[in-house]
Structure 1
Amino acid sequence: MHGRTNPSPSLRAVPAGGGEMDAILRGHDGTGSPLGDPAHWPGSLTTLVGVMLASDQPVFLVWGGARTLLYNDAYARLLGDKHPAALGRDWLDVWHEARAELAPMLEDAFSGRTVALSDGRQDRHGIGGGGASMALSLVPVRDALGGVEGLYGTCREIAGPALVESRQREADAVLRDNEERQSFLLDLSDTLRTLTSPTQIAEIASRRLGEQLGASRVFYAEIDGSLMRVERDYVRGVGSLVGEHSLAAFGPDLLTAYRDGAVVAVDDVSADRRFSAEA
Structure 2
Amino acid sequence: MQGEGRNELNPMDFLAGEGEMAQRIRAFDWASHPFGPPADWPQSLRAALSICLNSAFPTAIYWGPELRLLYNDAWAPIPGPRHPAALGQPAREVWSDIWHIIDPQFAQVIEQGQGLFAQEQMLPMRRHGIEEETWWNYSFTPLRDADGGITGVFNSGSEITENVIQRRNAEFLVAANNAFRTAPSPDQALRFSLAKLGELLGACRVGLRERTQIEGQVAFAMIYEWCAEGTPPSAEIAMPSQVGVSLQEKILSGEVTAAALSDADLEPASREYLERVGVVQGLGVPWVENGEVTSVIGVQWHKERVISAFDISAIERVLETTMGWIERERGRERERVMASEIDHRARNLLAVVQSVTRMTTGDDVAQVKADLEGRFAALSRVHGLLGQKRWVNVTFQELAEEELAPFGPDVFDRIEMSGPQVALSPTEAQVLAMVLHELTTNALKHGFLSTSDGRLALSWALPDTSRLDVCWHETGVPTNGPAVSDGQEGYGSVLLHEVVKGQLGGEMRREVGPEGIRFDLSYPRQADTPGPSPSEVLRPSPEAPAPARSVMIVEDDVIIAMDLAATLEEGGFARFGEFRDSQSALARLESERPDLAVLDWTLAEGTSEPVAAWLRENGIPFVVVSGQELSGAEDDPRRGAPLLIKPISYTALLSTLDRL
TM-score, structure 2 length as denominator? 0.22
1:12-51 deviation line (CA, Å, top 9, x unaligned): x237332210101122341332211101001111111111
Partner SS, residue 120 of structure 1: strand
When the two structures are aligned, how many residues end up with a matched partner? Answer: 157
Equivalent in the alignment of 2:164: 161
Equivalent in the alignment of 2:49: 49
Larger Rg: 2
Aligned residue identity for 2:19:
G
Equivalent in the alignment of 1:93: 93
Aligned counterparts of 2:55 and 2:81: Cα–Cα separation in 1: 22
Instruction: Say whether residues 1:143 and 2:171 are aligned partners.
Output: no
Equivalent in the alignment of 1:22: 22
Aligned residue identity for 1:133:
W
1:56-102 deviation line (CA, Å, top 9, x unaligned): 11100000112110011111111110011111110121000111111
1:81-129 deviation line (CA, Å, top 9, x unaligned): 001111111012100011111111111112212122212312x2258x9
Closer, same or farther: CA 46–103 of 1 in aligned 2, 3 Å: same
> What is the root-mean-square deviation of aligned Cα atoms in Å?
2.6
Equivalent in the alignment of 1:40: 40
Aligned counterparts of 1:120 and 1:166: Cα–Cα separation in 2: 18
Ranked by relative contact order (alpha carbons within 8 Å, sequence separation 6 or more), the top structure is 1
Equivalent in the alignment of 1:269: none
1:117-151 deviation line (CA, Å, top 9, x unaligned): 212312x2258x98652212110011232210211
Residues 120 and 160 in structure 1, CA contact (< 8 A), matched pair in contact too: no
Closer, same or farther: CA 99–126 of 1 in aligned 2, 3 Å: same
Q: CA deviation at 1:160?
A: 4.1
Equivalent in the alignment of 2:305: none
Aligned counterparts of 1:155 and 1:140: Cα–Cα separation in 2: 15
Aligned residue identity for 2:165:
A
1:147-196 deviation line (CA, Å, top 9, x unaligned): 1021100112447431446899xxxxxxxxxxxxxxxxxxxxxxxxxxxx
Structure 2, unmatched stretches of 5+, are 1-9, 172-660
Aligned residue identity for 1:153:
N
Q: Write out aligned runs for 1:6-21 (5 A).
A: 10-11=11-12, 13-14=13-14, 16-21=16-21
Partner SS, residue 151 of structure 1: strand
Equivalent in the alignment of 1:117: 118
Partner SS, residue 46 of structure 2: helix
Aligned counterparts of 2:32 and 2:170: Cα–Cα separation in 1: 45
Aligned residue identity for 1:114:
G
Q: Write out aligned runs for 1:1-279 (5 A).
A: 10-11=11-12, 13-14=13-14, 16-111=16-111, 112-122=113-123, 124-125=124-125, 133-158=135-160, 160-164=163-167
Closer, same or farther: CA 167–156 of 1 in aligned 2, 3 Å: farther
Structure number having the greater strand percentage: 2
Residues 29 and 38 in structure 1, CA contact (< 8 A), matched pair in contact too: no
Aligned counterparts of 1:161 and 1:146: Cα–Cα separation in 2: 39
Residues 58 and 74 in structure 2, CA contact (< 8 A), matched pair in contact too: yes
Aligned counterparts of 1:121 and 1:76: Cα–Cα separation in 2: 19
Partner SS, residue 57 of structure 1: coil
Aligned counterparts of 2:26 and 2:99: Cα–Cα separation in 1: 30
Deviation >3 Å, runs of 4+: 129-132, 157-160, 163-168
Partner SS, residue 89 of structure 2: coil
Point out the more displaced range, 156-165 or 77-86: 156-165
Aligned residue identity for 1:116:
F
Structure 1, unmatched stretches of 5+, are 1-8, 169-279
Closer, same or farther: CA 15–23 of 1 in aligned 2, 3 Å: closer
1:198-242 deviation line (CA, Å, top 9, x unaligned): xxxxxxxxxxxxxxxxxxxxxxxxxxxxxxxxxxxxxxxxxxxxx
Closer, same or farther: CA 130–49 of 1 in aligned 2, 3 Å: farther
Partner SS, residue 31 of structure 2: coil
Aligned counterparts of 1:10 and 1:93: Cα–Cα separation in 2: 31
Closer, same or farther: CA 83–26 of 1 in aligned 2, 3 Å: same
Aligned residue identity for 1:99:
W
Aligned counterparts of 1:138 and 1:77: Cα–Cα separation in 2: 19
Aligned residue identity for 1:161:
V
Equivalent in the alignment of 2:371: none
Aligned counterparts of 1:46 and 1:30: Cα–Cα separation in 2: 14
Aligned counterparts of 2:126 and 2:157: Cα–Cα separation in 1: 13
Residues 28 and 37 in structure 1, CA contact (< 8 A), matched pair in contact too: no
Equivalent in the alignment of 1:240: none
1:233-261 deviation line (CA, Å, top 9, x unaligned): xxxxxxxxxxxxxxxxxxxxxxxxxxxxx
Residues 15 and 25 in structure 2, CA contact (< 8 A), matched pair in contact too: no
Partner SS, residue 118 of structure 1: strand
Aligned counterparts of 2:89 and 2:15: Cα–Cα separation in 1: 25
1:255-278 deviation line (CA, Å, top 9, x unaligned): xxxxxxxxxxxxxxxxxxxxxxxx
TM-score, structure 1 length as denominator? 0.51
Residues 10 and 38 in structure 1, CA contact (< 8 A), matched pair in contact too: no
Aligned residue identity for 2:89:
R
Q: What percent of counterpart residues are identical?
A: 31
Residues 105 and 116 in structure 2, CA contact (< 8 A), matched pair in contact too: yes
